Structure 1
Amino acid sequence: MSDWWRGGVIYQVYPRSFQDSNGNGVGDLPGIIDRLGHIASLGVDCIWLSPITQSPQADMGYDVSEYTQVDPLFGSLQDFDQLIEQAHALGLKVIMDQVVSHTSDQHPWFRESCFSRENARSDWYVWADANPDGSPPNNWLSVFGGSAWEWHTSRKQYYLHNFLAAQPDLNFHNPDVQDAVLDVMRFWLDRGLDGFRLDTVNYYFHDAKMRSNPPLKSLKGLPATNPYDMQSHKFSKSQPENVAWLKKLRKLLDQYPGTTTVGEVGDDERGLELMKLYTSGSDMLHQCYSFDFLGPKFTAKHFRSKVEAFFADGETGWPCWSFSNHDVIRHMTRWAPHSVSPADLARQAAALMLTLKGSVGLYQGEELGLPEADILYEELTDPRGIRFWPEDKGRDGCRTPMPWQHDLTHAGFTTGKPWLPVKPAHSALSVDVQNHDPASTLNAYRTLLAWRKSHPSLRTGDIAFFKCDEPVLAYRRSGESKDLICVFNLSADPRNVKLSKVELALEPVSHNATLDGASLQLGPNGFAILPAPVGEGRVSYKAG
């Protein structure tokens, strides 16, 4: 099925933290191969591998020094080929992070580019002269703090880096750069890869006139932990030239039927707009990865407004929703204030994610209900956390190793010293403990994922929201022969909801929910899924 990705479920593997096979404390490709059975048992469609290509690891692989080699830390190209073969045998697609908005400063392209202003790759990166007073050419800032410009003594110019100074930005205004990037992608597609998660897909182009960014109006004068959050990034990213480039990229993917692209759009001001633009029609990206549900907001209004806004103009694009990933605090910790039971919150989050319209991104450990790990300063590896501690503790807390077996050292992740610690709270939620508990979060995920596959309307059907007061979220998913009514109590207090024209029966995946005639009682973080004839069924809830 060439459009398997539409409504598909993608499971993100963070290779460093999935399974170590050689005792060096870092996860690797052979370790992932050993654990493919676990991923397949969930019932997902695809694996997304975070970066595995050669890298100095200044930003955990998001600084690539060789695009067509697996970093020895993770294994070899032969291990990669074996992973693809065995995943495909289990019915799993595989996509990988493709980080091409920037490279490592150790990449041969950059080493050549910085050598002089007159060489074959002199214009492959974004170089600019200093202002007369020696300052950078404009006010653009780095996501990791400070100026986005770094002085290079050989060129006697500044180069642009939207992230670390060790991650210089490629110049996509140069057609040779575009061709080189397409060659890299072709290399992996020829090895059987099923597509790419495109890191920072809206950072490819910068404003050719190098205009300074204006301040962010909504900040209202309050300083942010990171100065980057005080700018409106009007000129440093999300440029109009990106559209033509993404069409060029899609033409390549169309030569490999059944492949997909998932674009990561990082733009707080225009994120939803860009997601729709970048996935509109059949000549753009297949889907875009949303940041909208990766924050602390846990309200019916928030979920409804984002989904409705995306599909407001009809189905002109396709989203991939996620609640957690390798860059944010795990949702079990972010949303804990709205729950009295972590198990109930985990199950509700799974049901909500798997019934929204769009594709689904699940992050490793999410199926175990893992909370954010409490990392000490001396345990940090993330450059963002080291720089902005303690107001921003960085991303290490969501990147700690998978707990596989509770009674083994480091929960079975490694026989050596893990690169990040396995905390006791995670060991208690390990896979072996939950495998044998029918009521566990892990088995709830398996049940919900299997149930989703039995309802085509949940993969591709329409969605329509009912008007309900907080904290009740309710919507209809429409199918050809049967609709599903989905009702969620996004709070730690019981709620009574009125129903009409709904078959008085609950789908078996419902949780903390009971029916008494037309009255639906939802316990803390309870949810109900009800079948209804096409176009029929009403849900109403008035607070107070």
Structure 2
Amino acid sequence: MNKTEALHADHDTKNAVPWWRGAAIYQIYPRSFCDSNGDGIGDLPGITSRLEHVARLGVDAIWVSPFFTSPMRDFGYDVADYCGVDPIFGTLEDFDAMVARAHELGLNVTIDQVYAHTSDLHPWFQESRQDRTNGKADWYVWADPKPDGSPPSNWQSVFGGPAWTWDARRRQYYLHNFLSSQPQVNAHNPEVQEALLGVMRFWLDRGVDGFRLDALNFLMHDPTMRDNPPAPDDGRRKTRPFDFQLKIYNQSHPDIIGFIQRVRELCDEYGAVFTVAEVGGDLAETEMKAFTAGEQHLNSAYGFDFLYADRLTPKFVEQAVSKWTDAPGIGWPSWAFENHDAPRALSRWCAPEHRDAFGRLKAMLFASLRGNIIVYQGEELGLTQVDIPFEQLQDPEAIANWPLTLSRDGARTPMPWIVQSGEGGFTVGVPWLPVGEDNLGRAVDRQEADADSLLNLTTALLRMRRDHPALRLGTFEVLHADECLLVIRRIYGQQSIAGVFNLSSSSVALLQGLLRDGNQLASVNGANGEQLPPFGALLIEERI
């Protein structure tokens, strides 16, 4: 696919709209998608072999989580070679074949870029740590100890403990906001910025259509090394030293904006390239909007609103979506209910006996949101969180903070393809994490054969979103939100679509006078124009 031609036609006005605007994107976690060689770990050829499943869903693109050369201490988010494929995933030729097949199927390809830190095995860091005078001495964040030998600031790492580690060769501390094996790059250094942009160009030249920029607000620190102030008691449980501070000085430096502008300039050279920032933390909303404002910054930002919410309520949906209006200069949001870092939504948001009905409601609501929607692998099947015992944990954060941090491994378990297979058709070997008995019963082949399955419903809803500009591109208005009932309206041109969602386990009467007359587009769990059974929902194309 030629990126300069990667536009879709607006059904009403025939104006060219970038392919990514309003897109549905499918996240693939390579270790757990499909294993082609029997070693128990998913790989790039495995992804390629299963792309037809993704294309049938009706999504516009895939997002492939890190597959780069790495010691895998943080499972690929500790990169040792930005331009290499780790042997457990395959080769650069395998990557090229995956991109080619995706493009044949009409799928754009988005990949992660992890710029805030590298692995301590990256050649840049290996050179930087040798002494204070080498060519890359200032490519990472180094600092002298305080007079008493303690670290230069009180900054804490996300994964627990101080964000500083002593290196005897330089007789200095280096900064790491995550694992001690993930040293922080010094992105204030112009040479580092040039190197990172060179990495981006490398993948663009191989046909990539977009990037997710991981932990982007960690890219630059305060060079004066000021201590972070303590966080006020907001009632939330604090399980890590990181939680006890306001993260003001170890991240979120205003100069990040300048680098973002350089990223946008480079991507614009290649046409319709999609860029989305991952932004979490105390100032997420402010930073997301700054990173995406106007036409000189990133296209979108990927928020955490839904990913860690323990309940899905009408008021919560209204609050999250209302942050992103269609006012001039406001960026375009990207939403996810699940990902590789967050517990599966059905395990957070409903009781086990309600999962089938709630899954249908959730799918319809997701397809109705304004912005891009990112479907995590297996979400279309209704996969649930697998309980991984301590002795099988792989996640370094969960191991370090056991038992107070819910393991990310439970959401990273292998994709079940074939219900008759003991390992769900994911591998012929021993999988790196267990599939989970409950999830095995939700395998792709079983749901493909069931006309009423969540997989087939999700496919229908995603195609409906693609075919209706109001769902993909329209304004978003909340007409009503109480403890149970959410009513929304999407308008684009002459098309108006209303969505009605009962987010409770009790029946609710549809409020009269809220909706215009129209035709029902879709309904789940027995909902109709007068009554909404538990978790009932419907979409109506209104007459204007």
Match of 1:478 in 2: 491
Q: CA deviation at 1:509?
A: 4.1
Deviates more, 1:301-310 or 1:34-43: 301-310
How far apart in 1 are the matches of 2:317 and 2:48?
36
* 1:169-318 paired onto structure 2 within 5 Å: 169-219=184-234, 224-267=238-281, 269-295=282-308, 296-311=310-325, 313-314=327-328, 316-318=330-332
Rounded to whole Å, the distance in 2 between the matches of 1:178 and 1:82 is: 29
Q: Is 1:157 matched up with 2:148? A: no
AA partner of residue 262 (structure 1): V
Residue 366 (structure 1) aligns with:
379
Distance 1:504 1:422 in 2: 44
User: 1 CA distance for matches of 2:543 and 2:174?
Assistant: 60
- Residue number in structure 1 paired with 2:368: 355
Task: Give the Cα separation in 2 of the matches to 1:128 and 1:191.
Answer: 38
Q: Which amino acid aligns with 1:468?
A: A
How far the C-alpha of 1:508 sits from its partner, in A, is 2.7
Q: Post-superposition shift, 1:512? A: 2.6
Once residues 484 and 340 of structure 1 are traced to their aligned partners in structure 2, the CA distance between those partners, rounded to angstroms, is 31
Runs of 4+ in 1 over 2 A off after TM superposition: 312-315, 508-512
Q: CA deviation at 1:505?
A: 3.8
1:72 aligns with 2:82: no
Distance 2:494 2:71 in 1: 54
Match of 1:336 in 2: 350
Q: Which amino acid aligns with 2:435?
A: V
**Distance in 2 (alpha carbons) for counterparts of 1:184 and 1:382:** 27
Q: Does 1:497 align with 2:510?
A: yes
1:422 equivalent in alignment to 2:401? no
Residues 288-324 of structure 1, C-alpha deviation per residue, up to 9 Å, x if partnerless? 1110111213111111012112227556201100000
Matched residue type, 1:447: A
Task: Supply the distance in 1 between the matched residues of 2:315 and 2:353 (Cα, whole angstroms).
Answer: 21
Helix, strand or coil at the partner of 1:249: helix
Q: CA deviation at 1:409?
A: 2.4
Letter of the structure 1 residue corresponding to residue 186 of structure 2: N
SS in 2 for 1:506: strand
Deviation at 1:139, TM superposition (A): 0.8
CA distance change for structure 1 residues 223 and 287 in 2, over 3 Å: closer, same or farther? closer
8 Å CA contact 1:272, 1:310 repeated in 2:
no
Query: Is 1:321 the equivalent of 2:339?
Result: no
What SS class does the counterpart of residue 277 from structure 2 fall into? strand
The answer to whether the Cα contact below 8 Å between 2:265 and 2:296 also exists between their aligned partners in 1 is yes
Alignment check: 8 A CA contact 1:212 1:235 kept: yes
What's the Cα RMSD here? 1.3
Q: Partners in 1 of 2:467 and 2:406 — Cα distance?
A: 41
Sort the Cα spacing of 1:68 and 1:107 in 2 relative to 1 into closer, same or farther, 3 A: same
d(CA) in 2 for partners of 1:187 and 1:177? 15
Are residues 1:449 and 2:462 paired?
A: yes
1:514 and 2:524 correspond: no
> What SS does the corresponding residue of 2:511 show, helix, strand or coil?
strand
| 8 Å Cα contact 1:447-1:509 kept in structure 2 | no
Contact between 1:200 and 1:265, CA under 8 Å: does it hold in 2? yes
Aligned residues of 1:127 and 1:157 also touching (Cα < 8 A): yes
Q: Is the 8 A contact 2:519 2:542 kept in 1?
A: no
8 Å CA contact 2:217, 2:279 repeated in 1: yes
Percent identity (aligned): 47
Q: 1:57, 1:468 → 2: CA distance?
A: 44
More deviation in 210-219 or 68-77?
210-219
Cα distance between partner residues in 1 of 2:328 and 2:280: 23
CA drift of 1:460 comes to: 1.1
Q: Pick one of 77, 83, 87 that aligns with 1:62.
A: 77
Q: Deviations over 1:76-126 (max 9, x none)?
A: 000000001110000000111111110000000001000000011000000
- The one of 535, 538, 544 aligned to 1:525: 535
Q: 2:58 aligns with which of 40, 43, 51?
A: 43
| 2:46 paired residue number | 31
Question: Gaps (5+ residues) in structure 1?
Answer: 535-544
What is the CA deviation profile of residues 122-142 of structure 1, one whole-angstrom value per residue up to 9, with x for unaligned ones?
000000110111111111110
In the alignment, is the contact (CA less than 8 A) between 2:361 and 2:524 conserved in 1? no
Q: Which moved more, 1:497-506 or 1:156-165?
A: 497-506
Q: Which residue, 107, 111, 115 being the options, matches 2:126?
A: 111
Q: By how many angstroms is 1:482 displaced?
A: 2.1
Q: Which AA in structure 2 matches 1:260?
A: F
Q: How do residues 130-169 of structure 1 correspond to structure 2 at under 5 angstroms?
A: 130-169=145-184
Q: CA deviation at 1:493?
A: 1.0
The 3-state SS of whatever aligns with 1:466 is strand
**Which whole-Å CA distance do the structure 1 matches of 2:416 and 2:533 have between them?**
30
- Write the distance in 2 (CA, Å) between the matches of 1:465 and 1:144: 38
Q: What is the alpha-carbon distance in structure 2 between the residues aligned to residue 219 and residue 305 of structure 1? A: 19
Residues 340 and 492 of structure 1 are in contact (CA less than 8 Å); yes or no, is this contact kept in structure 2? no
Hey, what's the Cα distance between the residues in 2 that align with 1:319 and 1:124?
32
Counterpart of 1:537?
none
Q: Distance in 2 between matches of 1:445 and 1:50?
A: 22
Q: 2:421 aligns with which of 389, 396, 408?
A: 408
Distance 1:348 1:272 in 2: 27
Letter in 1 for 2:181: A
Q: 8 Å contact 2:360–2:524 — kept in the other structure?
A: no
| Residue in 1 that maps onto 2:451 | 438
Quick one: structure 1 residues 456 and 238, their matched pair in 2 at CA, closer, same or farther if it must change by over 3 Å? same
Given residue 509 of structure 2, which amino acid in structure 1 is its aligned partner?
A: N
| 1:184 maps to amino acid | V
Alpha-carbon distance in 2 for matches of 1:334, 1:468: 21
CA distance in 2, matches of 1:395, 1:506: 39
Residues 506 and 530 in structure 1, CA contact (< 8 A), matched pair in contact too: yes
Report the equivalent of 2:14. Answer: none
Q: After superposition, what is the alpha-carbon deviation per residue over 1:333-374, rounded to whole angstroms, capped at 9, x for unaligned?
A: 01014x842121111111111111100111000000001011
CA separation in 2, counterparts of 1:187 and 1:401?
30
Which SS does the other structure have where 1:498 is aligned? coil
